[in-house]
Amino acid sequence: AQRVTQPEKLLSVFKGAPVELKCNYSYSGSPELFWYVQYSRQRLQLLLRHISRESIKGFTADLNKGETSFHLKKPFAQEEDSAMYYCALRGGSYIPTFGRGTSLIVHP
């Protein structure tokens, strides 16, 4: 079975502060991990995936197999980062499992 846990329903920070959205997973094999983002009144879209090892909009995420984590980080939050963020895992099948999401609010 595969499981994704996002322990924070809501994360509230001020502009310019560092941000870390936590994601822990449970999967016995080699997973593929993703972060999706949904801005207000927009569709859910891919932010980044661990195999790309990219930085998108200043966000990075590193897969830590020892801690089974894939936390999303940004050193300096911007107001436009306010959105709903979902961590997702894809294991042996092509069906991803999503976490419950974390709402990020960045205050001016």
Partner 1 sequence: DVKVTQSSRYLVKRTGEKVFLECVQDMDHENMFWYRQDPGLGLRLIYFSYDVKMKEKGDIPEGYSVSREKKERFSLILESASTNQTSMYLCASSTPSETQYFGPGTRLLVL
Binding site for partner 1 (CB under 8 A): 6, 9, 34, 42-46, 49, 86, 94-96, 98-101
13 versus 44: smaller Cβ distance to partner 1: 44
Q: CB of 12: closest distance to partner 1 in angstroms?
A: 16
Q: CB of 88: closest distance to partner 1 in angstroms?
A: 8
31 versus 99: smaller Cβ distance to partner 1: 99
Q: CB of 43: closest distance to partner 1 in angstroms?
A: 5
Exposure letters 61-98 (e unless 16+ CB within 10 A, then b): bebeeeebbbbbebeebeeebbbebbbbbbbeeeebbe
Beta-bridged to residue 95, according to DSSP, are: none
From residue 27, give the alpha-carbon distance in Å to each of 32, 36, 42, 66, 84.
10, 19, 30, 12, 24
17 versus 51: smaller Cβ distance to partner 1: 51
Q: CB of 86: closest distance to partner 1 in angstroms?
A: 6
28 versus 42: smaller Cβ distance to partner 1: 42
